[in-house]
Amino acid sequence: MVKPITGMLRKGLVLDLSVAFGLGTASGYLWWYGFHIPRTRRRDLFYAKLEDERANAFGQV
């Protein structure tokens, strides 16, 4: 007699959700710290430099 297949859907669902959340979280961290933060830092440095140049041009410090 063949045993009934039980719990396969639940096991597959748990595995799929675990992999999806794991890869999604890893991708989010990679995008945030690998792209967003460095780009934001470069933008902020650019505008800080621009503001310093404008302040020096007007003789204000």
Look at the alpha carbons of 6, 7, 11, 16 in this order and tell me if their dihedral is positive or negative: positive
Domain borders along the chain are 23-53
pLDDT digits (tens, 9 = 90+) for 1-55: 777 767 777 888 889 999 999 999 999 999 999 999 999 999 999 999 999 999 9
Question: Residues 55, 61: contact at Cβ < 8 Å?
Answer: yes
Distance CA 32, CA 40 (A): 10
- Give the pLDDT confidence score for residue 5 in this predicted structure: 66
